Amino acid sequence: MELVTFKTNISTEKAVQRVATYLNAAVGTANWQLDIRGADKKLMVYSPGMVNEMQVIDAVHKAGYYAISMEDYYSVY
């Protein structure tokens, strides 16, 4: 099982509902969780195999938001 965490700019419940349609289609309803209370607005995606990070980023982008892998984000800083 793989867990990949993303930093996003999704900060409201309305935004979560908007992104949910795209994420559900991309990774499945039960395979993601979003914490909008934290500073990083973490999106956690679970998969029994490998998570396709570009597919997740694309799904979030289609909803009008951004997501970047936490590993990539912190390697830059």
**Total structural domains within the chain:** 1
Evaluate whether 7 touches 53 at the Cβ level (below 8 Å). Answer: no
Is the per-residue pLDDT at 77 higher than 60?
no
With cut-offs at 50, 70 and 90, classify the pLDDT of residue 21: very high
Q: Record the pTM.
A: 0.87
Distance CA 30, CA 15 (A): 18
Evaluate whether 3 touches 46 at the Cβ level (below 8 Å). Answer: yes
Angle 52-5-48 from CA coordinates, rounded to 5°: 50
Domain that holds residue 32: 2-76
**CATH (domain of 29):** 3.30.70.100
